[in-house]
Structure 1
Amino acid sequence: MTGMRGLSVFISDIRNCQNKELERLRIDKELGNIRTCFKNEKVLTPYKKKKYVWKMLYIHLLGYDVDFGHMEAVSLISAPKYPEKQVGYIVTSCLLNENNDFLRLAINTVRNDIIGRNETFQCLALTLVGNIGGREFAESLAPDVQKLLISSSCRPLVRKKAALCLLRLFRKNPDVVNVDGWADRMAQLLDERDLGVLTSSTSLLVALVSNNHEAYWSCLPKCVKILERLARNQDVPQEYTYYGIPSPWLQVKTMRALQYFPTIEDPSTRRSLFEVLQRILMGTDVVKNVNKNNASHAVLFEALSLVMHLDAEKEMMSQCVALLGKFISVREPNIRYLGLENMTRMLMVTDVQDIIKKHQAQIITSLKDPDISIRRRALDLLFGMCDVTNAKDIVEELLQYLSSAEFAMREELSLKAAILAEKFAPDLSWYVDVILQLIDKAGDFVSDDIWFRVVQFVTNNQDLQPYAAAKTREYLEKPAIHETMVKVSAYILGEYGHLLAGRPGCSPREMFSIIHEKLPTVSASTIPILLSTYAKILLHTQPPDLELQNQIWAIFKKYESCIDVEIQQRAVEYFELSKKGAALADVLAEMPKFPERQSSLIKKAEDAEDTADQSAIKLRAQQQPSNALVLAAPQPVNGTPPPVKVPSMSGSDHDSAAQSHSQPNGTLSKVEPQPPSPDLLSDLLGPLAIEAPPGSLPTDERGGSTGAGGVPDVVDGAAIVPVGEQMHTVEPIGNIAERFHALCLKDSGVMYEDPYIQIGVKAEWQGHHGRLVLFLGNKNTSPLTSVQARILPPVHLKMELSPVPETIPPRAQVQCPLEVINIRPSRDVAVLDFSYKFATHMVNVKLRLPAVLNKFLQPIQLTTEEFFPQWRSLSGPPLKLQEVLRGVRPLPLPEMVNLFNSFRVSICPGLDPNPNNLVASTTFYSESTRAMLCLVRIETDPSDRTQLRMTVASGDPTLTFELKEYIKEQLITIPTGPRATPPSPLAPAAGAVAQPSSPAVAADDPGALLAGLL
């Protein structure tokens, strides 16, 4: 390239282009000039051809298509001089792939260069063959490359390139290497004294023996001699010594090749190899120099793999474990990780399990390491090293760690603890204790398989039944327990609760009362279990208790008209059977023993028994997802007040008509809505509604609408509440409006927080259905009382909120599911009207819920053939609307793409020929429109990023308008609510709960609140 002024000027011109369009114009001009010059062969000198081919390569590297000039590039390969030949080889290897027909024209020239005497030309040719590696090259040139490799007259530089070229050809086409004639040659190559050639040849050997080790037995002793030479540092040039380590790359490759051979039969070869491995183990330590550590540890860990592969003597195994035990205690996290990973792999060797147990305390310490990858490796190691002798200690440690573990590991922790408890339980009562603790501490992460297995054990072991019934009875005393705990407790007490007769608090009426307290808090999948429990309690009540019977009959009557078929059938049948006396005893007889079968949990563990490669992701993928999504919201222990009546969209009482809002197939039931009065909605939303309906009440100077008694009702503002004759203000922590807008673009986070409570939300969206879970967390050591919550939905949404407990215990959290159905497109928002009492302060706040328009969008990528017919079919208003927007936030195109992706509108690259424009598509779901395709085009002005033209099209006029306005709001500004408190500069770590004395912004994750409170 030296002296090519035209090429230098062209590159400078490209770099000086102000935008992509100017660059494209300059490149098109240059390509036209090159095409013209190539057509006029009379004036095309070798110098000009070389210069133009370099320009083609530069244009290709910039990402532009170069669909001509390939013949000129290939023709330069046959040039007699090095500058032109170099250009030909480089450009051909970059522009052409193995299937290009032009390569056939160059095969003879490339072969002539390989078999020639010019070493520079040989290296160029070998590099081209190695880079392309096509079938035709392999068949035509592989024999010549092999001859170069074994030639004693070639310099090491050429032979190194020949070895790497042959490796590339073998990987692409394994049949090009003739094994019968090549194995002996390969063994001779391992006698090479030049370490460069030897390293390249060893790379080739690793590929060959991985494919067929039987043919290369003669190479095995040669590999051991190479290791001996390097271990003793014999005849190793200084340039191949890395931080005092003789050629660590060659050591690693040689030991890897040895691992493909199953055994070493020759005693002297085996003894020599173990001496080398012993020297490596003894000579490796942790030093301060990072580069030396990396090289020495690469050799060490490959040596450990070879030791395990060869099933070495127990003494050497013990030495390996001791060395790894030292590694897992150092400060460097990478070394700790490798130490734990290799110790886990060593568990495949059964003789060292007892030695590894000596490091159990340090491994448990690693379970609390700040690095999650180290924690996962420590968990894998603990799981693998557990047996009857240490199971109790390890499971107790896992249970203790479960309370503080982040959510990313709780599912894996729970599954492994359950498997260990079942496999190595010293007695069944301990196993029951462990599983109940698991459910209590991590119910959301415990699959149904786990509690199913507990029920099987209790059913099949008569001596265990009274103990299990007593333990589940104790857990029901807690004010807040998980729904899975409700299931297992109700089942066991229904079957074996009568065995506790005579104990305090275990009469049928008392057991019914404590179980029935949980009924309003559970989902539809749990209600059938509770109904069966009530029927069994009725069966075992002797003599009959008429008052209890009437209570249970009332519940059966209540659910006779339930929309859920299974609940309805059970209620009807149990009610009729309970009238027949003896018939109930026959139908509800005690469950027979389950047939003995392998545990599904242990079967999963055996399927994933590859301990060396086992990972948490693989394990979780095998676990069935838990259907216990919602933490049961408790009723107060002292008394059972009636549940809060939340007006449903059907206008019926929540308890009677909307107890079960989920169909058995997981779809939401359709409840015909009765829209609330516009005046009420206007009064609640005030000026903060995205689109306030007519009839709004006058607002005060702070932006809130004035409610009854002159008390401002403020959405997304501070809670201002009357207390007696005075006013008390509870200032929120953090900016509520910013939290709301963040939740509009993600599915979980904190929605509201003040010194007493934190409200989080976690959502799932599918089509026009949505499910939100509200997390209500009491941050104080005193209970929150008079808790009430109701949803004030816009007319386009059906919303159903589960009952909210009147009291939230100290430092506890409850979860309330909220079902959502989108009826039609609208940007109106729903409001959560929430109030509670703390000490003498009655606090009320109204919060916008993030059930907004973009939650019902599903991004979709369209091709040119799919997009343009749809775009043309939507010819104009009202299905296609266009607007010029000014005052847009000046965003670069990549940031604008990310913004569209964040609200679920997918950019379709390459559809618009103008690189400054964006074309996007998405699908909107509602009951009225079903799946409706939406298309968007954004035309930006490179000279003024504050303005653009937007076109939105869909098959529904209302949807087109609402989506256009929504995107417009996102592009122009992100609105903030009035009177929002700025975020505190103090941000606690994830999981911390802000105290009233230190109003810090908690982590925007309802899971962080759960970890802090529980």
Structure 2
Amino acid sequence: MALSGMRGLSVFISDIRNCQNKEAERLRVDKELGNVRTRFKNEKGLSPYEKKKYVWKMLYIYMLGYDVDFGHMEAVSLISAPKYPEKQVGYIVTSCLLNENHDFLRLAINTVRNDIIGRNETFQCLALTMVGNIGGREFAESLAPDVQKLLISSSCRPLVRKKAALCLLRLYRKNPDVVNVDGWADRMAQLLDERDLGVLTSSMSLFVALVSNNHEAYWSCLPKCVKILERLARNQDIPQEYTYYGIPSPWLQVKTMRALQYFPTIEDPNTRRSLFEVLQRILMGTDVVKNVNKNNASHAVLFEALALVMHLDAEKEMMSQCVALLGKFISVREPNIRYLGLENMTRMLMVTDVQDIIKRHQAQIITSLKDPDVSIRRRALDLLYGMCDVSNAKDIVEELLQYLSSADFAMREELSLKAAILAEKFAPDLSWYVDVILQLIDKAGDFVSDDIWFRVVQFVTNNEDLQPYAAAKAREYLDKPAIHETMVKVSAYLLGEYSHLLARRPGCSPKEIFSIIHEKLPSVSTSTIPILLSTYAKILMHTQPADPELQNLIWAIFNKYESCIDVEIQQRAVEYFSLSRKGAALMDILAEMPKFPERQSALIKKAEDPEVDAAEQSAIKLRNQQQQMSNALVVTDPVSTNGTPPVGQLSLVKVPSMTSSVAAEPGLIQPNGTLTIVDPQPPSADPQPPSADILGDLLGPLAIEGPPGSAVQSEPNAVLGKGVVVDGAAIVPVGEQANAVQPIGNTAERFHALCLKDSGVLYEDPYIQIGIKAEWRGHQGRLVLFLGNKNTSPLLSVQAIILPPAHLKMELSLVPETIPPRAQVQCPLEVMNLRPSRDVAVLDFSYKFGANMVNVKLRLPAVLNKFLQPINVTTEEFFPQWRSLSGPPLKLQEVVRGVRPMPLMEMANLFNSYWVTVCPGLDPNPNNLVASTTFYSESTRAMLCLIRIETDPADRTQLRMTVASGDPTLTFELKEFLKEQLVSIPTATPRAPAAPVSPVSQPTSTAAASNDPGALLAGFL
């Protein structure tokens, strides 16, 4: 019987494999499914063995992609079988067929629980395996306590405890709010004393998950982890079965070091010393051998040790040893090891004081650029990009230019962009920068974006000393028999603007310049012809009084293109022909382009684009982090005393760090580099402003400081927060402010505006502007304070103290005591919401300017609605939740009077602006509103909040509001918050929170420009 049954299954699988096409397979499967259905219907005559066989067939059919819903119940029923063969099939097939939300799983919960708490170890293991594989919420709620008991039980065998640890890990990862791990620090400490390495490894996996969620609760386990590493490093009491190629349990070593990286520091000197001894042993004992498997294991341990060394900010000697070890790796023949060496050396750039040591390996890194493996070439490029600074920029950029001609096409665009950025950031002088960009265009024109040649034009336009040199270099490149069209564009533009500076040089007369440019006209595309027409007009302008022969030649070209089908070309030809007939007046009409305003580099913005490949993006962020010596970045205004930006002027002043504070969030605030960064307007000979689509990604220009009391267009007023008396001049109780310096604009209105948007000006007076840019995710926020000195003298004795309420955890980075003239300091501020509250944090800010000592207390817009996330719920989701929250304190109701009458749509817009989503159609009464939102805090995590507003059409000054949530404090605070908004409503409907809007490119007044923190200085994106 058994033999025939197994033969039947084997024959079916053979039949499937022998099918000639999909149709034949489908017919054979349908035949078998019909047979299985028939046998399942006659279940009384079906033996346990036959049921097991048919369930196996059903699983095989399911793996082929066919629907077997009819057999789910049969698979689940096998779980309760008394014998192991049938029970095993039931557990395996159920794990494969059913997901965590399947209704049939509820039928098996009691059986699974009986197996877990039973005495049969085999059944326990089967049950734990299935629970871990499925990991559903119902399993977690019902079975997690029993799994926890198994894990800490001293009577269970290690085999069961290992599976219990991994099962609990899965349940915790899927449902951290359901699995109760409160007070587990002592139990984890006991588990980390376990002598069995199997149980210890599984427990360490669980520990990594727990400590990643809340390391504060597990400080007592830290010494235990160090002792585990000591035991493994000394190979003490390590069974042979846990030794892999002579390495004691490499998996446990890696997990333990990963867990230690979640602790911010190690305070105990003895523990720290013991740990560094272990790390030293790992670093000294790891070398490259011929056995690939041993290399993989030892390198996994080594690179985790390197990450831990960087995390703990070890002594410089150990850091040097790490770099030296990586230097060995990047010189071996094995490509995987070279890749890992380059990747980890790139990570080392984040560590202070090791860049000079990494530079010693520059020659070997450059050699890796020529490696046959493209992934190694990319990592070498990332590393060179990250380690570049003023001292080695020339060598690295020249190497990149040489490599450009032989690099494969997939890398050339990235290579060109990075070479251009490095040349811009670290150029020793601007003439070298011009040489590099022109070489770049000459060698890789197809891969050079327009942003790159826009940049060189901006530098030349803003630096008069550079203009003759740039024009001469452009003239040299035009002599080449074949040049790229991008080179034609940049050369034509530069010569159109500055060829008159070369008039005395041989071969540079206006007619000769025109001739050599006109030779390129037949070979260029329609996008380049407008630039050439602009150049001809400029040449004609510079030859006043006119050369008749040259004038006729250029007029003939204009006449030719007056009937061109391309609108841009036609319009330019017509207008230039008309303008050129004005004679000497042409000098005023087509005067040189003005200097470009100071803005952030479009190249750096492009390099930080989120669509860039993840590996490239990480290298860019690493470099940006490495550049920051402090969290406070000071961006200076490069305007000199005579009003012109000097060549080589620095625009980023590094403030020496006095603390090892965490680096600013990459991607939110990034440094601009060390050269004067002038953001581009696209070159055009047309005196009209460039088109808006090209300027869409640029920030507004430098704002001129305005007189005290300038009117500011601010957001309408609203009442937010409590416990602070608001004065129109500053956010302090009346009578406590004795400043002689008065703010510009209404500071209270600025605060309320920032409660609805994420960037803007918080405070401004004649000497300083304080702006804010924020990013909110769940219960955490990252703000950046922009402290901008508007004057030509420094601000002294600068102090900024955060006075947080009890429900917010806030950490402000170091604020320098002095802000240089015409500079802007960027100070990151980390915010964590611990629980619901309407209390408001206060910034106590003071500075000294001349004889004036200014002190203001400013409310920070880290208010309750910043931790809301809109969510749209359906009828099926809303009403069950609404009914389950019955009565106080989870559901509160109040009649609100004194509401300004408004249309229902306006009230809905008001709620939406505070991230409370109005859900239309849920309430049958058209005079009512139903809304929902999700509140985030460390105590509540994601908490759904439901709101119902009942209005009276006869009396719009009152309404009944009902608020419900799963947390009593949240319900009360949200009700009061919404009540405050309704009772004291602004005169205009607030705008919904949105991404920061870039300021206009040409503000017409100081007031308009001063409402954006980037308008004082182009200091942030």
Q: For residue 450 of structure 1, what is the aligned residue in structure 2? A: 452
* Equivalent of residue 302 in structure 2, options 294, 300, 316: 300
* Equivalent of residue 493 in structure 1, options 488, 492, 495: 495
Given residue 330 of structure 2, which amino acid in structure 1 is its aligned partner?
I
Distance 2:25 2:460 in 1: 76
- Paired residues of 2:303 and 2:344 also in contact (CA < 8 A): yes
Deviation by residue 1:402-432 (Cα, 9 ceiling, x = unmatched): 1111111111111111111111111111111
Given residue 490 of structure 1, which amino acid in structure 2 is its aligned partner?
A
CA pair 61-278 structure 1, distance change in 2 beyond 3 A: same
Q: For residue 60 of structure 1, what is the aligned residue in structure 2? A: 62
Q: For residue 287 of structure 1, what is the aligned residue in structure 2? A: 289
Deviation by residue 1:776-809 (Cα, 9 ceiling, x = unmatched): xxxxxxxxxxxxxxxxxxxxxxxxxxxxxxxxxx
Distance 1:28 1:319 in 2: 66
27-36 or 221-230: which moved more? 27-36
CA pair 517-216 structure 1, distance change in 2 beyond 3 A: same
Distance 2:313 2:613 in 1: 17
Q: For residue 70 of structure 1, what is the aligned residue in structure 2? A: 72
Distance 1:107 1:121 in 2: 14
Deviation by residue 1:913-943 (Cα, 9 ceiling, x = unmatched): xxxxxxxxxxxxxxxxxxxxxxxxxxxxxxx
Q: For residue 551 of structure 1, what is the aligned residue in structure 2? A: 553
Distance 1:258 1:451 in 2: 48
Distance 1:142 1:158 in 2: 15
Runs of 5+ in structure 1 lacking a partner?
623-663, 667-1014
How do residues 773-922 of structure 1 correspond to structure 2 at under 5 angstroms? none
Q: For residue 359 of structure 1, what is the aligned residue in structure 2? A: 361
Distance 1:537 1:21 in 2: 76
**Offset at 1:9?**
3.7
**Offset at 1:72?**
2.1
Secondary structure in structure 2 of the residue aligned to 1:174: coil
Q: For residue 466 of structure 2, what is the aligned residue in structure 1? A: 464
Distance 2:311 2:618 in 1: 25
Q: For residue 394 of structure 1, what is the aligned residue in structure 2? A: 396
- Paired residues of 1:534 and 1:552 also in contact (CA < 8 A): yes
- Paired residues of 1:163 and 1:200 also in contact (CA < 8 A): yes
Secondary structure in structure 2 of the residue aligned to 1:97: coil
Asked if 1:108 is matched to 2:100, the reply is no
- Paired residues of 2:169 and 2:205 also in contact (CA < 8 A): yes
Distance 1:200 1:92 in 2: 24
Identity %: 90
Given residue 298 of structure 2, which amino acid in structure 1 is its aligned partner?
S
Asked if 1:266 is matched to 2:268, the reply is yes
Q: For residue 121 of structure 1, what is the aligned residue in structure 2? A: 123
Distance 2:24 2:460 in 1: 77
Q: For residue 968 of structure 1, what is the aligned residue in structure 2? A: none
* Equivalent of residue 95 in structure 1, options 87, 94, 97: 97
Runs of 5+ in structure 2 lacking a partner?
625-690, 694-1021
- Paired residues of 1:560 and 1:569 also in contact (CA < 8 A): yes
CA pair 498-22 structure 1, distance change in 2 beyond 3 A: closer
Deviation by residue 1:246-298 (Cα, 9 ceiling, x = unmatched): 00011111111111111111111111111110000000001111111111011
Q: For residue 85 of structure 1, what is the aligned residue in structure 2? A: 87
**Offset at 1:609?**
14
- Paired residues of 2:546 and 2:583 also in contact (CA < 8 A): no
Distance 2:356 2:611 in 1: 19
- Paired residues of 2:369 and 2:380 also in contact (CA < 8 A): yes
Given residue 230 of structure 2, which amino acid in structure 1 is its aligned partner?
E
Asked if 1:523 is matched to 2:528, the reply is no
Q: For residue 877 of structure 1, what is the aligned residue in structure 2? A: none
Secondary structure in structure 2 of the residue aligned to 1:208: helix
**Offset at 1:608?**
8.0
Distance 2:615 2:516 in 1: 47
Secondary structure in structure 1 of the residue aligned to 2:331: coil
Distance 1:341 1:609 in 2: 21
- Paired residues of 1:412 and 1:616 also in contact (CA < 8 A): no
CA pair 471-379 structure 1, distance change in 2 beyond 3 A: same
* Equivalent of residue 151 in structure 1, options 150, 153, 168: 153
Deviation by residue 1:891-919 (Cα, 9 ceiling, x = unmatched): xxxxxxxxxxxxxxxxxxxxxxxxxxxxx
Q: For residue 726 of structure 2, what is the aligned residue in structure 1? A: none
CA pair 136-326 structure 1, distance change in 2 beyond 3 A: same
Secondary structure in structure 2 of the residue aligned to 1:165: helix
**Offset at 1:612?**
10
Q: For residue 323 of structure 1, what is the aligned residue in structure 2? A: 325
User: Structure 2 length as normaliser, TM-score?
Assistant: 0.59
CA pair 190-609 structure 1, distance change in 2 beyond 3 A: farther
CA pair 562-210 structure 1, distance change in 2 beyond 3 A: same
* Equivalent of residue 191 in structure 2, options 186, 189, 195: 189
CA pair 435-16 structure 1, distance change in 2 beyond 3 A: closer
Distance 2:425 2:48 in 1: 78
Secondary structure in structure 2 of the residue aligned to 1:253: helix
Q: For residue 987 of structure 1, what is the aligned residue in structure 2? A: none
Q: For residue 862 of structure 1, what is the aligned residue in structure 2? A: none
Given residue 105 of structure 1, which amino acid in structure 2 is its aligned partner?
L
* Equivalent of residue 424 in structure 2, options 422, 425, 429: 422
Distance 1:316 1:611 in 2: 32
Asked if 1:474 is matched to 2:447, the reply is no
How do residues 479-628 of structure 1 correspond to structure 2 at under 5 angstroms? 479-605=481-607, 613-615=615-617
**Offset at 1:665?**
14
Deviation by residue 1:115-151 (Cα, 9 ceiling, x = unmatched): 0000011001111111111111111001000100111
Asked if 1:162 is matched to 2:170, the reply is no
Distance 1:195 1:63 in 2: 40
**Offset at 1:615?**
4.7
- Paired residues of 1:163 and 1:201 also in contact (CA < 8 A): yes
Q: For residue 1009 of structure 2, what is the aligned residue in structure 1? A: none
Deviation by residue 1:153-184 (Cα, 9 ceiling, x = unmatched): 00000011111111111111111332323222
Given residue 42 of structure 2, which amino acid in structure 1 is its aligned partner?
N
Q: For residue 744 of structure 1, what is the aligned residue in structure 2? A: none
Distance 1:271 1:611 in 2: 40
**Offset at 1:567?**
1.6
Distance 1:344 1:570 in 2: 50
- Paired residues of 1:384 and 1:611 also in contact (CA < 8 A): no
Q: For residue 172 of structure 1, what is the aligned residue in structure 2? A: 174
**Offset at 1:50?**
2.0
Distance 2:619 2:425 in 1: 22
Given residue 574 of structure 1, which amino acid in structure 2 is its aligned partner?
Y
**Offset at 1:543?**
4.6
Distance 2:199 2:170 in 1: 16
Distance 1:17 1:445 in 2: 52
User: Structure 1 length as normaliser, TM-score?
Assistant: 0.60
Asked if 1:205 is matched to 2:207, the reply is yes
Secondary structure in structure 2 of the residue aligned to 1:594: coil
Distance 1:201 1:2 in 2: 41
CA pair 18-594 structure 1, distance change in 2 beyond 3 A: closer
Q: For residue 437 of structure 2, what is the aligned residue in structure 1? A: 435
Given residue 114 of structure 1, which amino acid in structure 2 is its aligned partner?
I
Aligned length in residues = 623
**Offset at 1:191?**
0.7
479-488 or 54-63: which moved more? 54-63
**Offset at 1:568?**
1.5
- Paired residues of 1:345 and 1:611 also in contact (CA < 8 A): no
Q: For residue 648 of structure 1, what is the aligned residue in structure 2? A: none
- Paired residues of 1:327 and 1:335 also in contact (CA < 8 A): yes
Deviation by residue 1:720-756 (Cα, 9 ceiling, x = unmatched): xxxxxxxxxxxxxxxxxxxxxxxxxxxxxxxxxxxxx
**Offset at 1:19?**
4.1
**Offset at 1:393?**
0.7
- Paired residues of 1:376 and 1:616 also in contact (CA < 8 A): no
Asked if 1:334 is matched to 2:331, the reply is no
403-412 or 67-76: which moved more? 67-76
Secondary structure in structure 2 of the residue aligned to 1:481: coil
How do residues 673-692 of structure 1 correspond to structure 2 at under 5 angstroms? none
